[in-house]
């Protein structure tokens, strides 16, 4: 059994090795009108254990989503993200064994790439903080900056890092965020199809310019959505209307487009989750969410229904204490 597997199974790394356990939530970005700005963390995520090796290189063991598909060496996105943090600090990433148990669907608009990047950043942060020779504690600003450098935009990595509802924006000094707590009445539902969608393709379908009235429409709905999510869930239906990106992307994922239309015709606050093709329903209470879930289960049994809570913590990292050399033999 690998060192990472031993640590993951509630054991400990051998003396001289360092290990951390990281948990990262799934996310949903845009939330309808908040294109490239708003994101929410969902209580459904990946768990990883990383253990330093005496030899250079990376060995990755994946269970769950992506098993047998994602790279299991240094080209793995989690490892590359950890290496990026070390490089930005002028250091070399130590050899790693990584045990990843993945739950977040890939290519479905639930922030899987952003979560993988955040996992790598948090692994690096945990290992750097426990470095016996020269410990480093990364700030929230650094965590967000490193993750955004890899992801390209902060709308998914911000909620994955910090949890809750996040407003993210970029400045000449780097990306910034504001975390808000979601009203207890908001009940998220994610509907996951069997097909995937490329984020790059989804983005390519959007025009470079939009009508002035559409821009004004989305500004008003984005402002309303903040109020709806934080204090007035009864406004969620109107607040989730969008004219900037969903209509343009609909032709590439007609199943998603049609399901959203069907749900909204029934009064549910349904939007594309991220770049799609999953659908996010932001319900006003568990009863309304149950009605949406029942509708989908009855008419679209091929869609997976995930009844989720909002994750308020974001990504976490904790050290795993090493055992003595005597115990580890």
**130 near 18, Cβ under 8 Å?**
yes
Predicted local distance difference test score (pLDDT) of residue 249:
81
The CA–CA distances, whole Å, from 323 to 9, 15, 85, 327 equal 14, 6, 27, 6
Q: ∠ CA 296-160-313 to the nearest 5 degrees?
A: 95
Q: Do 128 and 218 fall into the same domain?
A: no
Quote the number of domains for the chain. 2
Q: Do 316 and 296 fall into the same domain?
A: no
Q: Do 164 and 223 fall into the same domain?
A: no
**Residue 58 resides in a domain:** yes
Q: Tell me the pLDDT tens digit for each residue of 90-131.
A: 999 999 999 999 999 999 999 999 999 999 999 999 999 999
Q: Do 164 and 106 fall into the same domain?
A: yes
Q: Tell me the pLDDT tens digit for each residue of 31-72.
A: 999 999 999 999 999 999 999 999 999 999 999 999 999 999
Predicted local distance difference test score (pLDDT) of residue 157:
98
Predicted local distance difference test score (pLDDT) of residue 252:
86
Q: Do 129 and 254 fall into the same domain?
A: no
Q: Do 158 and 271 fall into the same domain?
A: no
CA dist 123 and 108 (Å) reads: 24
Predicted local distance difference test score (pLDDT) of residue 247:
85
Predicted local distance difference test score (pLDDT) of residue 196:
85
Predicted local distance difference test score (pLDDT) of residue 236:
98
**119 near 315, Cβ under 8 Å?**
yes
Q: Do 47 and 124 fall into the same domain?
A: yes
**324 near 11, Cβ under 8 Å?**
no
Q: Do 202 and 276 fall into the same domain?
A: yes
Q: Do 169 and 59 fall into the same domain?
A: yes
Predicted local distance difference test score (pLDDT) of residue 222:
96
CA dist 256 and 34 (Å) reads: 18
**Residue 181 resides in a domain:** no
CA dist 282 and 303 (Å) reads: 17
**Residue 329 resides in a domain:** no
**Residue 73 resides in a domain:** yes
Predicted local distance difference test score (pLDDT) of residue 204:
64
Predicted local distance difference test score (pLDDT) of residue 211:
86
Predicted local distance difference test score (pLDDT) of residue 52:
96
**Residue 219 resides in a domain:** yes
Q: Which domain holds residue 35?
A: 3-174+312-324
The CA–CA distances, whole Å, from 84 to 11, 38, 73, 90 equal 28, 25, 15, 10
* DSSP reduced 3-state for 186: strand
Phi, psi (rounded to 5 degrees) for 43: -75, 70
Predicted local distance difference test score (pLDDT) of residue 206:
67
* Tokens coding 197: 């969608």
**Residue 72 resides in a domain:** yes
Q: Do 10 and 155 fall into the same domain?
A: yes
CATH code, domain carrying 69: 3.30.230.10
Predicted local distance difference test score (pLDDT) of residue 250:
80
CATH code, domain carrying 205: 3.30.70.890
Q: Do 86 and 9 fall into the same domain?
A: yes
Question: Which segments of the chain have a pLDDT < 70?
Answer: 1-15, 198-207, 322-329
Q: Do 136 and 205 fall into the same domain?
A: no
């Amino acid at each position: 059994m690998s060192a990472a597997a031993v640590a993951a199974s509630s054991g400990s790394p051998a003396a001289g090795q360092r290990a951390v356990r990281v948990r990262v939530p799934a996310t949903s970005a845009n939330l309808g009108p908040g294109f490239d700005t708003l994101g929410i963390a969902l209580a459904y995520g990946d768990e990883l254990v990383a253990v330093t090796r005496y030899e250079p290189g990376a060995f990755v063991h994946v269970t769950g989503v992506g098993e047998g598909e994602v790279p299991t060496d240094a080209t793995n996105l989690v490892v590359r993200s950890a290496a990026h943090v070390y490089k930005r600090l002028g250091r070399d990433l130590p050899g790693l064994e990584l045990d990843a148990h993945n739950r977040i669907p890939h290519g479905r608009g639930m922030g899987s790439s952003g979560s993988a990047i955040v996992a790598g950043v948090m692994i690096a942060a945990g290992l750097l903080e426990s470095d016996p020779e020269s410990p480093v504690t990364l700030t929230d600003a650094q965590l967000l900056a490193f993750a955004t450098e890899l992801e390209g935009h902060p709308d998914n990595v911000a909620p994955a890092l910090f949890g809750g509802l996040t407003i993210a924006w970029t400045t000449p000094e780097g990306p910034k965020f504001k975390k808000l707590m979601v009203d207890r009445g908001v009940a998220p539902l994610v509907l996951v199809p069997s097909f995937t969608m490329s984020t790059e393709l989804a983005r390519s379908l959007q025009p470079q310019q939009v009508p002035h009235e559409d821009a004004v429409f989305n500004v008003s709905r984005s402002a309303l959505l903040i109020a709806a999510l934080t204090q007035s869930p009864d406004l969620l239906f109107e607040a989730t209307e969008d004219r900037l990106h969903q209509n343009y992307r609909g032709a590439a994922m007609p199943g998603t487009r049609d399901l959203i239309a069907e749900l909204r015709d029934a009064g549910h606050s349904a939007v594309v989750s991220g770049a799609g093709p999953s659908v996010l329903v932001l319900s006003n209470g568990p009863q309304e969410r149950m009605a949406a879930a029942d509708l989908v289960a009855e008419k679209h049994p091929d869609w997976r229904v995930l009844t989720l809570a909002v994750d308020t913590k974001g990504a976490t990292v904790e050290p795993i204490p090493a055992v003595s050399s005597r115990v580890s033999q």
